[in-house]
Amino acid sequence: MIDQEDPSRDRLKHHFAQRVIHQARHVLEVWQRLQSSEWTAPHMAELAEANERLLRYAERFEQAGHAQLAHGIAHCLHAIEANHGRITSALISELNLLMQRLSRTGLRHRDRLEQTFLPPLRKPVYLALQDVERAERLGQQLEFFGVNAQALGDANAFRSAMVERHPAAIVMEIDFSGTGCGLRLAAEVQQDLEQKLPILFFSHEDTDTPTRLAAVRAGGEEFFTGTLDASSLLERIEELTHVTQYDPYKVLVIDDSRAQATHTERVLNSAGIVTRTLTEPIQAMAQLADFQPDLIILDMYMPECNGTELAKVIRHNDRYVSVPIIYLSAEDDLDKQLDAMSEGGDDFLTKPIKPRHLIATVRNRAARARNLKARMVRDSLTGLYNHTHTLQLLEDATFRARRDGQPLAFAMLDIDHFKRVNDTYGHPMGDRVIKSLALFLKQRLRKTDHIGRYGGEEFAVILPDTDAASAFRVLEEIRQRFAEIHYPAKPQDLTCTFSCGVAEWSDGVDSKMLSKQADQALYQAKHGGRNRTVIFSG
């Protein structure tokens, strides 16, 4: 007798897996809230409780990957508790790594390394549009990008969904369930919320200023008119929710007083900021190259050299021109503080300083520095790494692959018949397709993968710890799903495909050669009929 799979058993297993994934989401939500606050005992207790429930569910429902991650998180939290609540940079980094892995547990739907094929770790997006069929079609398009979108038919369905679960964002037509009802409904749901939800309003026709003002007062972060397409909508949702930001800020503390450096380190660690302290300023440049901090805290007066001299040395290196330098000193002479600021400093804090003041200043300065760096190394249209930075990242990745003996894959993608898209539908549609593929790649690939816009309609992907066969499987799924996206256009909707070439690093191959091999594989894919993925074979 042939043993057949029981469909009801499969459904039950999927239901149990969903219970685990929902709890994993909750752990990540608590973790993200920690990033904007001090890691006080109540906050840590909330994280521990959420993680304990994740561990319990994962073990009960036999989700080994989640159980392993929950054990690791629990170990870190116990270490903090055993250390009388003191948080170290090593523990912050370890927790961050575990959370990154937890956030990726569902991103690759068909990756053979995953035991369960689950949706991405995201809250749903609620779609409240007058035309329910249109909302469902939009929801299907968002699903292609890995977003859990839920179309709601009327005001009662919307209220019920809000009671059941708060979304990542709400897309609300201003006349949903009646003229002007969408605006009133949005204002109603925001009333009792301590943390307001991002609402993106939509109207078929352009609207007057009073309507726009009402949308702002109802919590509107965006106002779309005319048509809604998934890629533009998702781009704005990503900006508003920041769901992928888990990297802690890194601060290099340079102070000849070990006691003062340790105090600064503990204050910043208590807010989840990773630090490295240096009591010998002469070693600063070597530490900068190794640590790559977001910000430097510098003592004003030190025996080997003073702070302003060291700031000048740091600024002489183009790589660190944009890294913020904050002087932290007992100097209270305003003229001397201003002189120091003119010598490469960005801010001056006087000792003693309240911990909350120090934390807020560091966070604000580090955030701005990251945003500035992102603009310098990223393509303005897509937000992906630009050509030059992509090649630098590939060079770094090949160095690490050689050092660690780990596999590395590099892929090049090219949108098929892109000139025809521009000629037929216009350059704005071409830009929309390019942005759409960029968003699709960001949604479907891991946080550890690097995605770049190589130029025009060409993209590059660096996949560390990945062999060519695994890269092929992942990129093949992305290629197939991308071809299903429809772009509203006349006389008929537009669909696009891309071709892809994959190469795997091997001994004796440098980054330039690896790039050339991927380009040759892409050439084969193009001349083999397009809309396919080819692995380079020497």
181-205, pLDDT tens digit by residue?
999 999 988 887 777 888 999 998 8
Look up residue 305 and give its two tokens.
Answer: 């050299």
446/398: higher pLDDT: 398
How do strand 169-173 and strand 295-298 relate by DSSP bridges? unpaired
What stretch of H or E contains 161?
helix 155-164
- Distance, in Å, from the CA atom of 169 to the CA atom of 520, rounded to the nearest integer, reads 42
pLDDT band at 267 (very low <50, low <70, confident <90, very high): very high
Look up residue 238 and give its two tokens.
Answer: 């990503």
Please report, to the nearest 10 degrees, the dihedral formed by the alpha carbons of residues 473, 474, 479, 480 taken in order. 70
* Spans of all domains in the chain: 10-103, 125-241, 250-376, 387-535
Look up residue 102 and give its two tokens.
Answer: 């937890």
Is residue 120 reached through a cis peptide bond, with omega within 30 degrees of 0 on the bond before it? Answer: no
pLDDT, residue 111, reads 35
pLDDT band at 244 (very low <50, low <70, confident <90, very high): very low
Task: Tell me whether domains 125-241 and 250-376 share a fold.
Answer: yes
Could you tell me if 300 and 327 are in contact, meaning their C-beta atoms sit under 8 angstroms apart? yes
- Distance, in Å, from the CA atom of 229 to the CA atom of 331, rounded to the nearest integer, reads 56
Strand boundaries in 52-184, DSSP class E: 125-128, 149-151, 169-173
Give Cα 250 to chain centroid, integer Å: 17
* Among candidate residues 514, 492, 263, the one with its CA nearest the CA of residue 407: 514
pLDDT band at 7 (very low <50, low <70, confident <90, very high): low
How do strand 250-254 and strand 199-203 relate by DSSP bridges? unpaired
Q: With 90 as the cut, is the pLDDT of residue 144 above it?
A: no
pLDDT, residue 114, reads 33
pLDDT band at 112 (very low <50, low <70, confident <90, very high): very low
| Residue with token string 């920690």 | 34
- Distance, in Å, from the CA atom of 244 to the CA atom of 238, rounded to the nearest integer, reads 8
Could you tell me if 343 and 365 are in contact, meaning their C-beta atoms sit under 8 angstroms apart? no
Residue 92 neighbours by CB under 8 Å, 6+ apart: 248, 269, 272, 273, 274
- Distance, in Å, from the CA atom of 280 to the CA atom of 531, rounded to the nearest integer, reads 57
- Distance, in Å, from the CA atom of 223 to the CA atom of 216, rounded to the nearest integer, reads 9
Q: With 60 as the cut, is the pLDDT of residue 115 above it?
A: no
CB neighbours of residue 384 within 10 Å: 25
**Amino acid at residue number 331:** E
Q: With 50 as the cut, is the pLDDT of residue 213 above it?
A: yes
- Distance, in Å, from the CA atom of 452 to the CA atom of 386, rounded to the nearest integer, reads 6
Return the half-sphere exposure (C-beta side, CA atoms, 13 A cut-off) of residue 16. 17
pLDDT, residue 1, reads 42
In sequence order, what are the beta bridge partners of 252?
Answer: 276, 296
Query: What is the rounded end-to-end Cα distance, in angstroms, of the chain?
Result: 48
* Among candidate residues 293, 139, 168, 148, the one with its CA nearest the CA of residue 242: 168
49/35: higher pLDDT: 49
The CATH number, out of the four listed (3.40.50.1950, 3.40.50.2300, 3.10.310.30, 3.90.1010.10), of the domain defined by the range 125-241: 3.40.50.2300
- Distance, in Å, from the CA atom of 218 to the CA atom of 411, rounded to the nearest integer, reads 45
Could you tell me if 119 and 21 are in contact, meaning their C-beta atoms sit under 8 angstroms apart? yes
Please report, to the nearest 10 degrees, the dihedral formed by the alpha carbons of residues 103, 107, 113, 117 taken in order. 110
pLDDT, residue 108, reads 37
- Distance, in Å, from the CA atom of 416 to the CA atom of 410, rounded to the nearest integer, reads 19
* Strands of 408-415's sheet in order across: 450-455, 458-464, 408-415, 498-504, 533-535
Q: With 90 as the cut, is the pLDDT of residue 419 above it?
A: yes
pLDDT average, residue stretch 114-118: 32
User: Any idea which of 58-67, 246-255, 368-377 has the lowest mean pLDDT?
Assistant: 368-377
Residue 293, classed as helix, strand or coil, is coil
Return the half-sphere exposure (C-beta side, CA atoms, 13 A cut-off) of residue 389. 16
**CA 31 → CA 47, 230, 251, 272, distances in Å?**
7, 28, 20, 10
Q: For the stretch 76-90, what's the b/e string if a residue is b when 16 or more beta carbons lie within 10 angstroms of its beta carbon?
A: bbebbeeeeeebbbe
Range of 111-115, 130-134, 285-289 with top mean pLDDT? 130-134
pLDDT, residue 6, reads 54
pLDDT average, residue stretch 123-145: 85
Q: With 80 as the cut, is the pLDDT of residue 121 above it?
A: no
Q: With 90 as the cut, is the pLDDT of residue 533 above it?
A: yes
378/151: higher pLDDT: 151
Could you tell me if 493 and 376 are in contact, meaning their C-beta atoms sit under 8 angstroms apart? no
Could you tell me if 522 and 499 are in contact, meaning their C-beta atoms sit under 8 angstroms apart? yes
CATH number of this structure's domain 250-376? 3.40.50.2300
- Distance, in Å, from the CA atom of 491 to the CA atom of 45, rounded to the nearest integer, reads 58
Residue 1, classed as helix, strand or coil, is coil
Assess if CATH 1.10.357.10 describes domain 387-535.
no
pLDDT band at 373 (very low <50, low <70, confident <90, very high): confident
